[in-house]
Structure 1
């Protein structure tokens, strides 16, 4: 069954798009990520223009994140105070990111910028997370009574920064500056790369802030809801790259998938969740890197730059 997308100016298979939304919603509920790091490349590989893929799937992130948060709230795995601090930085970052997106689009470099950003960030984050989580699993098997390498209660120079706040659900007493900066970075990524930023935020909250993995997932999804919503509205208003038909199809699949993913994720250990997420991130990174380096099927392409 085919349906025409007015903004993307192409026809797509309805069942295939619903399946994409469902899979990404499942990953959202399971890992605490918006799923944009996977959905945007999938849409691009399917033939959706990169700018439209980035602008549209932010709507899907909102739906899958809401469904995931509701599931994690029932288990008490959401630190709302931490989420609001991350949100303040994320909203500011999303405004800056949309401005950068518009600038790159005027220069005609937005497609290259999106692909390179994915390869760099996915490769770095996925590699570091895989090494740490795999080593933790190995140590746990060798000494079942041992503790993980990082968790709440461990401090570094970053915990000595001013403006300290107590986050009781996460069992932390740290400076608000660090989560604000993390939120700001995620907001920029949400606008430029079309992601909720969970693939960066989840590792940062675990390794930099020292939050428990289960609390990180629900809190990350809570913050992603608002950052993705503001990004989608800004993209629609400034760049006109949101295809509402595509967004509704993705939403329908994502809501169901997020509920299932949250139930599956609750049965796994923190290090098991991290190694699975890292492996997924690295696979997506490898595919995008290959596409950048491989010879294209069409040597020449034609396009138009927006008129000022």
Structure 2
């Protein structure tokens, strides 16, 4: 079942795109990530131009985040106060990211920058998650008790002024910390089409000191509004959003996010982290190979 994508200017198999959206939505519900860190590179591997893939993936992440966020909200796992501060930062970050996106595209560097950023960020995050999860699993097999780290915000966060109380998270910190995290997520959303959850979730735990019971839901809440803002900015400035591609991704991702949320409750946290780390590293390696792989023939001419 082939469909023509007007902005990408090519035909794709609709069932393949829907299946891709379902898989990414499933990961969104399981790990609290928007899934765009997988959507964009997978679309590029499929043949979608990087600029269209990044812009369209942001809209798909919005749909996946809506479904997953409501599932966590029913369990009272969303800190709306914290999420609201991050959303404001995300909107400002999206505007700055749009300006940066246009500069890179005008200079012809946007495709290379997208690929390099993916390799660096996914490789770093995946490596750290793999080391931590393997250490926890090995300790469990040896019968050792893994002492949970004391939940406390980073000293850099403690130095920021204007402290607020975030009751759901049990924190008394400056709103500037979550605001800056939201801005960084907004920039990443514009440049890479990601929700930023793979970066935001660890930052919320290790920098802000949030408890794991509210991290996933709050992350999805922030991702929902940031990706919605990024999609609108892309549609009005870069005009790289392919609505047909976005709709196909959304059809699969909404259903996948609900199933992923239910499945996550059946696995141990270290197993979830290990699975996500392997997926992230796999995508990073594939992107790195794409940067350095030289085809046998750079140009090919086919005579009719």
TM range (shorter): over 0.9
- TM-score, length basis structure 2: 0.93
CA separation in 2, counterparts of 1:102 and 1:154? 36
Measured in 1, the distance between the counterparts of 2:15 and 2:91 equals: 34
Q: How does 1:188-227 map to 2 (within 5 A)?
A: 188-227=187-226
Shift of residue 157, structure 1, vs aligned partner: 4.5
The answer to whether structure 1 residue 78 and structure 2 residue 78 are counterparts is yes
Partners of 1:154 and 1:141 in 2: CA distance: 30
Structure 2 gaps, min length 5: none
Could you say what secondary structure the match of 2:116 adopts? helix
Provide the aligned length of Structure 1 versus Structure 2.
300
Per-residue Cα deviation, 1:246-284 (whole angstroms, up to 9, x for no partner): 111111001100000011112333333222222211111
Secondary structure of the 1:3 match is strand
* Counterpart residue number, 1:32: 32
Q: Secondary structure at the match of 1:169?
A: coil
Alpha carbons 2:136, 2:146 under 8 Å: kept: no
Structure 1 segment 1-308 matched on structure 2, within 5 A: 1-142=1-142, 145-148=145-148, 150-153=149-152, 156-296=155-295, 298-300=297-299
Unaligned runs of 5+ in 1: 302-308
Deviations 1:166-213 (A, max 9, x none): 222222222222211111111100000110111110111111112222
Tell me how large the CA RMSD over aligned residues is. 1.7
Q: Distance in 1 between matches of 2:153 and 2:177?
A: 15
Q: Distance in 2 between matches of 1:298 and 1:254?
A: 37
By how many angstroms is 1:36 displaced?
A: 0.6
> Shift of residue 141 of structure 1?
4.4
CA shift for structure 1 position 59: 0.9
Larger mean CA deviation between 125-134 and 29-38 belongs to 125-134
Q: TM-score, normalised by structure 1?
A: 0.92
The whole-number CA distance in structure 2 between the counterparts of 1:273 and 1:259 is 16
Tell me if structure 2 keeps the 8 A contact 1:172–1:211: yes
